[in-house]
Amino acid sequence: MKVTSHELLPWTEAAFDTFFSSQERRAHAYMLAGHSGLGKTIFAQQLAKSLLCQEEEKHACGQCQSCRLFESGSHPDLHVLQCEKRMVEIEDLFAIYAPRYLEDENKRKKRKKPSAIIAIDQVRRVIPDINTRPHLSACRLILINTAEDLNINAANSLLKSLEEPPSDSYFILISHDPCRLLPTLRSRCNWIDFRPPDKQQAMHWLSTQLADQVDISQLLDRASGIPLRALKIANGTRHSDERQVTQQMLQLAHRQIDPTSAAAVMIKTGELKSILETIQLWLSRLIRLKISSQNTTLPKKEGDKPLIDLGNRLNFRQLYAFLDKVSKSKQLAGGPLDPLLALEDDLISWQAMFSK
């Protein structure tokens, strides 16, 4: 299986530089600690790939045998300990490496749900492997994702290796919740703390990931300043809202629903402002599809067909006029207007554009 690697996130670059600034002072056990959503996993992947690369010290070349095996999920010197639950739920590069040290299959089959802990068996199985020489690269990596999943026995069994690691080994532990870790485990690692970036930097990065119309500042506030969490909220909510909006707008155009009922359905999904924002985003997509559908050489997705057909029933002047109307309503949203009536008014205009 081929896995796409991610670029290091900008607010983690300084820590990456520090790690590679001095080989002599480099420790052999690191704890990447901080809230979920700050880029620790991507950092760990880039760190592992770079340390294992046979050509370059800091920026993995992407070409050598090590880099290619790393990306394909089969590097012999990367050892990943994860619990089964994480492996099943999060399909990333580490999940591909994880099965090697999962618990015994018979034990796993007896459980109703995937285990949420890293058990002592898993640690015991990895230890003999780290006492041999690396197979391919100059060093080997033992990645523990996450450290708080280690149960007490597993953590204790790991301590000795952390204290006296083989010189060609690195232990990288990830923790989203370092307060839960054993003090002995905490004290044996060098810490790399991940904190939310300053708002300016987070907003700039999010602006490269999201559509222009999204209120990034507000989104970031909802996500407590954590950029990847903000991205999840944006994608999650927009996705569900947009599906709802698509359905209502199509039904209105086909006169399968009246504007009052459609407005009542939509208003249940959120505040007027966010609904109008979703309609704006949806209209922008409709316009883009209409433009691209006129180019017969571009491939078309089957799922886009209802929207392309809808777009073809209107001309660009009508579409932009309606987009303008929605934008104006959005500016007024939150004021003295009754949200339901305001939305209904826009939907009446929308339906009126489609002849009976």
Q: Which parts of this chain interact with Zn ion (CB under 5 A)?
A: 53, 55, 60-61, 64, 67
CB of residue 25 vs Zn ion: minimum separation in angstroms? 24
The nearer residue to Zn ion, 58 or 204, going by C-beta atoms, is: 58
Residue pair 344/257 in contact (Cβ under 8 Å)? The answer is no
Give the span between the Cα atoms of 138 and 169, in whole angstroms: 9
CB of residue 296 vs Zn ion: minimum separation in angstroms? 43
The nearer residue to Zn ion, 32 or 51, going by C-beta atoms, is: 51
The nearer residue to Zn ion, 68 or 100, going by C-beta atoms, is: 68
The nearer residue to Zn ion, 53 or 202, going by C-beta atoms, is: 53
The nearer residue to Zn ion, 60 or 192, going by C-beta atoms, is: 60
12-15 contact pairs (CB < 8 A, 24+): 12/38, 12/39, 12/40, 12/42, 12/43, 12/194, 15/43, 15/192, 15/194
CA distances, 155 to each of 52, 102, 125, 150 (Å): 25, 16, 14, 6
- Find the Cα–Cα–Cα–Cα dihedral 300, 303, 305, 308, rounded to 10°: -80
The nearer residue to Zn ion, 93 or 249, going by C-beta atoms, is: 93
Residue pair 28/164 in contact (Cβ under 8 Å)? The answer is no
Residue from 253, 22, 30, 251 nearest 145 by CA = 30
The nearer residue to Zn ion, 61 or 348, going by C-beta atoms, is: 61
CB of residue 45 vs Zn ion: minimum separation in angstroms? 14
Give the span between the Cα atoms of 81 and 118, in whole angstroms: 7
Any residues with CB less than 8 A from the CB of 349 and at least 6 apart, and which? 322, 325
What is the DSSP track for 211-249?
Answer: -TTS-HHHHHHHTTT-HHHHHHHHHHHHHHHHHHHHHHH
Give the span between the Cα atoms of 306 and 152, in whole angstroms: 56
The nearer residue to Zn ion, 72 or 190, going by C-beta atoms, is: 72
Neighbours of 123 (CB within 10 A): 23
The nearer residue to Zn ion, 66 or 351, going by C-beta atoms, is: 66
Q: How many CA atoms lie within 13 A of 220 on its CB side?
A: 21
CA distances, 56 to each of 4, 59, 67 (Å): 19, 6, 10
DSSP three-state, residue 92: coil
